[in-house]
Structure formats: structure tokens, C-alpha cells
Amino acid sequence: MNIWNRTSLITGALAGITAALLSMGANTQSSFAIVLYAASALPILIAGLGWGNAAAIVAIVVAGATAATLVSAYFALLILLVTLVPAGWLSHLANLARPASELGGPDGALAWYPLSDILGHLAGLVTVGMIIVGYIVGYDSGVSDRMIDMVIEAVKAQEPLYNPDAAAIAQIKSMFTLALPLVQGAIWVLMLFAAYYLATRIVQTSARSLRPREDIPSSLRMPRNAIFVFLAGLVLAFLGGAPAAIGALICGTFGAGFLLSGFASFHFRTRGKSWRLPVLWIAYLSVLVFTIPAVFFLLSGLTDTRRTIAVTPAEKN
């Protein structure tokens, strides 16, 4: 085994241990749980983007084995499905390139896997992972119903006069049954993409990145076929039962992809404007505070779908 392979494997092992520890830390720090779970993808992404597929595979295996040993096989399976495997797959896709001449580009150049397809894969991976996890844990409408009951009991403890009627409670539970998977899927796609973005910047700063630095505002879009998946999720959401929960999840994961695309498009269209910075701040704050303005960026992402391929000289890689 040469020194390069040995370095890659050691790096992967260290990344896997770090990822497992971050995931386990999420169990003890409930207030920052989602951040720590998403952060556990960062070591896997850095190992894969900087040292290749071998490092990413070792990192995933070591992370899973560490989590299974220190916590349980059940816990290890969950983090593998929703965090570690998606992170390793994203790093693999990001390092894919082919001769640009095969796509009608210039000779002596490389065409990199489109960022739009990477975002589409992320939405799909999160969807599949969460469906499998939901099946394993036995997720059904009873989970969201119990959460609503707990909230109502907590409110009653603070306000003894609060006594909502049964019809109102039933309506809230019906809405929350769809809202829970939708929000969970959307947040997880956003968090994992943030981890991917941060990992690419770290690896590029260390000069280990194979993939060139891309202009995110101009290249971050969803692939056109993702629109049909999103529409299929909308249809499923009206069927009720398990199909409705899956449909809501699809709307959340792919909707988050279109939301990111809409924000990227907004960044691109405001480039060079003197009022750009305050308008961007207002846009982000309005989405965080009021949520409803997110629909504008979602629609913007839905109406601007394309695949932008980064091309670099082959000798630079």
C-alpha cells in the first residue's frame, strides 16, 4: 500500500470517527441536535471531496461501526440512511468529470457533473432515506397526533381556561400530519446542502479540491425533471394516509431544492445592483420570520430549471 492510499484511508477513518461523535453528541444536546446531525455529514464530505471515494467509503464504514459499538446498530442504521450515505454519494458526484468533447465542448477540457443534478440527487436521497427510516420506526399519523396532544396539554397547564373544541383539534392534527414530514424533509435538504457548500469551501481553501469553484448564483438550479417529481408529491398529498405523508415529504425535499434554486436565481439577478445587499438581507429575514415569502422563491426556482456544466482545462486536474 503506497503512502497516498494509506493517507487517504487514515483520513477516512478519522473523518468517520468524527462524524460518529457528532451524531452521538446530537443525542445529548437536544437544543442543537439538528445542527450536530447535519454537521456529522461535514467530515464525510471533506474526506470524499479532498481524498476521493476510498476515503469517503472508509469514513462511512468507520462512522457506522463506531455508532453501532458505542450506541446501537439501530442508531447506526438511522444515521447511515439520512446523513452519512447521502454525504458520501454527494462527494462522489462532485468529483465526477468526463472529457468535454463528449458533450460537444472543447478538446483538452473536463466537464464536471452538473451542480443541478447534485441538488436533485440530494433531494431524492433525503426522500428515500426518510421513507425507510419512517418504515423502520413505524411512523404514522399517531406520532404527529401525540405531539399535538402534548402541546395542547402544555398550553392548558399555562392557561387553565384554554379549552379548544374537538373539531379544531382534529383539524390541527390533520394539518400537522402533512406539515411534519414536509418541514422535516425541507430542513434536512437545506442543512445537508449547507454542509456540502461549507465542505467544498474548506477543501478548496486547502487546495485539495478536484472540482473547480463554481459560481453558485448562476449554476445552482434544479433539473427540469424534478418538477414532475414535485407535482407527483402534490398529488400524493391529497390521497390521505401513508401516501399523503410520502407526498408531503417529497414536496418538502424537492421544494427545498427549488427554494435554494430560487434564492440562487435572486442572487444572480441582483448582481451588480447598488441596492443588492439590503434587499438580500430583507429577503432572507422575511423568509425566516414570516415564512410565506418563501413561496415567491419557490416559484422562482420552479420557473428557472436548467443544467449548467462547469468546464476546466484537463491539465489543471
The per-residue pLDDT for range 14-55, each reduced to its tens digit, is 999 999 998 888 776 566 777 888 889 999 999 999 998 999
Q: With cut-offs at 50, 70 and 90, classify the pLDDT of residue 1.
A: very low
Q: With cut-offs at 50, 70 and 90, classify the pLDDT of residue 305.
A: confident
Query: How far apart are the C-alpha atoms of 207 and 185, rounded to whole Å?
Result: 33
Sequence letter at residue 105: G
Q: Is the pLDDT of residue 211 over 50?
A: yes
Torsion sign (Cα): 188, 190, 193, 195 = negative
pTM check: above 0.85: yes
What is the pLDDT at residue 30? Answer: 63
The per-residue pLDDT for range 243-254, each reduced to its tens digit, is 888 999 999 999
Percentage of the chain beyond pLDDT 70 is 88
What is the pLDDT at residue 196? Answer: 95
The per-residue pLDDT for range 63-101, each reduced to its tens digit, is 999 999 998 898 999 999 999 999 999 999 999 988 887
Query: Rounded to the nearest 5°, which phi and psi values hold at 313?
Result: -60, 135
